[in-house]
Structure 1
Amino acid sequence: MITTELRTADHTNETGGILLGHHTRDAVTVRHAGTPGPAAVRTPTYFLRDLAHAQTLADKAFTTDRSVWVGEWHTHPTGRPAPSARDTATYRQLLDDTELGFHSIVSLIFAYQEGRWTGTAWTFHRQRVTPVELTVSRMGGPM
């Protein structure tokens, strides 16, 4: 889903979606990546996913394999594939929301540089933001 969205997206506006999977003691496995959804807000410096679309994907993933919300992916049409101040503030708000129950959040950020997308994975914990190793394996078709 992410590669399709990157290939077809308007490179001048941010896009993204939710990441669904499983937390283990030392790793997060992402099983499903959502698209922005038809009601998403996309600007050059801001992306807000379609909440109803994200909830439908989350419900389907939970029914399929018990996947839960583990993070998000999004693009930066300019700049680097690193968290912006807005990204960091958003993830801190999610971590502080006790109803959500996050102990960490995974973020995949892609930047459009020199005619191609490059990406970096990040993990957000209460007190730190860390780039993390990303291992990609294709385990099935899109949701």
Structure 2
Amino acid sequence: MQSALNVEIAASALQSIASTIRSGDARLETGGALFGPLDGSRVLHAAEPGAMAEHSARFFRRDLAFTREEAARLYQTDGSQWIGEWHTHVDVPPTPSELDLSTYFRHISNPTLGFNRFLALIISLGPRPTLAAWVLERQDQAIVLIQAGEQAFCLSE
């Protein structure tokens, strides 16, 4: 998938997301972190949620310790850095909820994290699974949310 914002998502990252969704409970949200070049131009890896992740019908919280270990491993492997997050929505459109937006704005506003761009992939698990890509970017003194694309998402192997 590639958007007008030139965000490329590696096929292996999409396969990892689909595999994680298939192995979970479709009634509960799941997700994980996205990794790639710091400029957020490409998603090379999509992490699993981790064993200690919290899942519910309306929110998901990834296993932070697992995510940190995965970040260190991927940085050593190919220099990938944390550039965003992916998660599912159960029977609602793939648009950021208020909780999602609050989380994303907190990440991009935190100077110690160093984000100029933060990627969010949301997969709606309704009858026709749909993936929407969202980008938060710093533009002058503002933080702007842009929908970078939307497409059907295949969950089969």
Name the TM-score, length of structure 2 as normaliser. 0.79
2:24 is equivalent to residue 9 of structure 1: yes
- State the match for 1:110 in structure 2: 123
Counterparts of 2:86 and 2:130 in 1: how far apart (Å)? 13
Please show how residues 1-143 of structure 1 align to structure 2 within 5 Å.
1-24=16-39, 28-114=41-127, 116-126=128-138, 127-133=143-149
User: Which portions of structure 1, spanning 4 or more consecutive aligned residues, are displaced by more than 6 angstroms?
Assistant: none
Across the aligned residues of Structure 1 and Structure 2, the Cα RMSD in angstroms comes to: 1.6
Specify the SS of the correspondent of 1:11: coil
Whether the aligned pair in 2 keeps the contact of 1:41 and 1:50 (CA below 8 Å) is yes
Whether the aligned pair in 1 keeps the contact of 2:86 and 2:120 (CA below 8 Å) is yes
CA positional deviation for 1:112: 1.1
The number of residue pairs the alignment matches comes to 132
Pair 1:111–1:133, CA change in 2 (3 A): closer
CA positional deviation for 1:20: 0.4
Counterparts of 1:133 and 1:44 in 2: how far apart (Å)? 24
Name the TM-score, length of structure 1 as normaliser. 0.87
Counterparts of 2:58 and 2:149 in 1: how far apart (Å)? 26
| Identity rate, percent | 36
- Partner AA of 2:110 in structure 1: D
Counterparts of 2:92 and 2:149 in 1: how far apart (Å)? 21
CA positional deviation for 1:23: 3.8
CA positional deviation for 1:6: 1.6
CA positional deviation for 1:118: 1.2
Counterparts of 1:23 and 1:68 in 2: how far apart (Å)? 6
Whether the aligned pair in 1 keeps the contact of 2:38 and 2:80 (CA below 8 Å) is no
Deviates more, 1:124-133 or 1:2-11: 124-133
Counterparts of 1:14 and 1:133 in 2: how far apart (Å)? 21
The runs of 5 or more residues in structure 2 that have no matched partner are: 1-15, 151-157
Counterparts of 1:91 and 1:133 in 2: how far apart (Å)? 18
Counterparts of 2:25 and 2:53 in 1: how far apart (Å)? 13
The runs of 5 or more residues in structure 1 that have no matched partner are: 135-143
